[in-house]
């Protein structure tokens, strides 16, 4: 296996930095090593989320949440049947291969199943609603010419990139809300490839970030995904869907772990004006709403017809009615908000998507 350094991480590295690395390596884990590069434990994708849900400080060492009772094999001392039995008997996604305690390879469950068992990954059967009716004022004056969903990144508009991400999980049914520059959006999809099924939700007037969903009442009998048209979330949508289902949530928000540094000394006071402490350039972690949701169809009954109604309004109504709302965290690197000029320019320069 190449690029083992993408998977190994020093035991004193912060949980926040390790979560970033796990996102970049796309292996669903990091493998924790000591000063001599010997493996101490594994932190899986699920371990990161349990730490965040449990309120663990993301500035703590990654070793504090690692699993030190992991399954591994020593080089040359295992067979394909041993690997198969390990994967079938334990709920694990990777097995490190060691030489005198040092990582030399990783066998991933999905790769092993594909190569050895010839299993086909199931497709995620869930419709996606893309909210594309807004004016895109954050990208003014660009959006005076183009509607926000058709803003180009490379050789594709952002809405096509969003659809392509979902298609990687087998999703091909899309509902697109339209209002601002509706004809341009429809014209684009008239010449679009036929690999997706696209239906429109026509907002005669702007109905906010959730109001147009009312038109879909009775359309679905399963949960469905809602995505803003200017965000790209690069993650495993199947895991989000499973989290939503297993937690019996009515609505699930996908949130991004964001780290922000205050570029000044921050003062805390006591006794009506006396300095207590001053911290130079402190950093803070936040869970930020990405604009991606999974919603049960029954939730649509809480949306008033024909009124401007935002997703924040819907969440408040659900909470007031004792409905269950889940929060699924992804790393800072998994979320791109191209609706902001600075972020859009950064993505275009880096060709990140």
Q: Which of 62, 329, 308 is nearest to 205 (CA)?
A: 308
- How much is the pLDDT for 154? 82
Q: Are residues 289 and 309 in the same domain?
A: yes
Q: Which of 116-120, 207-211, 264-268 has the lowest mean pLDDT?
A: 116-120
CATH number of the domain at 77, please.
Answer: 3.10.580.10
The pair of three-digit structure tokens given for residue 291, joined into one six-digit string: 């604009």
Digit-coded pLDDT (tens) for 270-307:
998 999 999 999 998 899 999 999 999 999 999 999 89
The residue out of 96, 117, 138 marking a domain boundary is 117
Q: Which of 233, 341, 225 is nearest to 293 (CA)?
A: 225
The SS3 assignment for 45 reads helix
Q: Are residues 113 and 173 in the same domain?
A: no
Domain assignment present for residue 210? The answer is yes
CB 126 within 8 A of CB 171: yes
The CA-to-CA distance between both ends of the chain, in Å, stands at 25
Q: Provide mean pLDDT across the span 151-166.
A: 89
Render the burial of 160-196: b for 16+ CB within 10 Å, e for the rest.
Answer: bbbbebbbebebbebbbbbbbbbeebeebbeeeeeeb
Q: Are residues 200 and 75 in the same domain?
A: no
Containing domain of residue 73, as a range?
4-117
Number of domains composing the chain: 2
Q: Are residues 93 and 174 in the same domain?
A: no
CB 96 within 8 A of CB 70: yes
Numbers of helices and strands, H then E, in the chain: 9, 19
Domain assignment present for residue 169? The answer is yes
Across the chain, mean pLDDT equals 89
Q: Are residues 110 and 133 in the same domain?
A: no
Domain assignment present for residue 122? The answer is no
Q: Which of 139, 200, 209, 141 is nearest to 173 (CA)?
A: 200
Digit-coded pLDDT (tens) for 174-186:
999 998 888 899 9
How far apart are the C-alpha atoms of 255 and 191, rounded to whole Å? 34
The residue out of 76, 92, 117 marking a domain boundary is 117
Q: Are residues 109 and 134 in the same domain?
A: no
- How much is the pLDDT for 338? 82
Digit-coded pLDDT (tens) for 1-49:
458 889 999 999 999 999 999 988 888 899 999 999 999 999 999 999 9
Q: Are residues 94 and 223 in the same domain?
A: no
CATH number of the domain at 146, please.
Answer: 3.90.550.10
Domain assignment present for residue 123? The answer is no
The residue out of 92, 117, 142 marking a domain boundary is 117
Q: Are residues 112 and 163 in the same domain?
A: no
Q: Provide mean pLDDT across the span 91-119.
A: 81
Q: Are residues 168 and 188 in the same domain?
A: yes
């Amino acid at each position: 296996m190449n690029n083992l350094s993408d998977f190994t991480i020093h035991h004193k590295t912060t949980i926040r930095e390790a979560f970033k690395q796990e996102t970049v390596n796309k292996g669903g884990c990091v493998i924790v090593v000591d000063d001599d590069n010997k493996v101490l434990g594994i932190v899986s994708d699920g371990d990161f989320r349990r730490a965040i849900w449990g309120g663990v400080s993301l500035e703590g060492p990654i070793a504090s949440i690692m699993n030190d009772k992991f399954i591994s094999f020593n080089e040359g001392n295992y067979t394909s049947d041993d690997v198969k039995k390990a994967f079938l008997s334990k709920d694990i996604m990777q097995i490190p291969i060691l030489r005198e305690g040092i990582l030399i390879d990783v066998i991933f469950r999905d790769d092993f199943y594909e190569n050895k068992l010839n299993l086909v990954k199931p497709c995620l059967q869930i419709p996606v609603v893309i909210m594309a009716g807004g004016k895109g004022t954050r990208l003014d004056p660009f959006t005076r010419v183009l509607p926000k969903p058709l803003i180009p990144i490379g050789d594709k508009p952002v809405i096509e990139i969003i659809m392509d991400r979902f298609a990687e999980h087998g999703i091909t049914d899309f509902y697109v809300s339209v209002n601002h520059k509706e004809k341009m959006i429809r014209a684009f999809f008239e010449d679009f490839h036929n690999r997706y099924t696209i239906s429109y939700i026509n907002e005669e007037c702007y109905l906010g970030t959730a109001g147009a969903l009312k038109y879909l009442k009775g359309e679905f009998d399963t949960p469905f995904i809602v995505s803003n048209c200017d965000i790209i979330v690069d993650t495993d949508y199947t895991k989000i869907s499973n989290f939503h289902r297993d937690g019996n949530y009515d609505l699930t928000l996908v949130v991004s772990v964001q780290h922000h540094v205050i570029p000044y000394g921050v003062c805390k006071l006591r006794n009506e004006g006396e300095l207590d402490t001053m911290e130079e350039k402190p950093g803070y972690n936040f869970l930020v709403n990405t604009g991606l949701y999974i919603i049960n169809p029954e939730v649509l009954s809480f949306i008033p017809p024909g009124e401007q109604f935002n997703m924040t309004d819907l969440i408040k109504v659900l909470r007031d009615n004792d409905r269950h709302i889940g929060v699924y965290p992804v790393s800072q690197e998994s979320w791109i908000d191209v609706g902001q000029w600075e972020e859009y320019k950064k993505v275009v320069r880096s060709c990140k998507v």
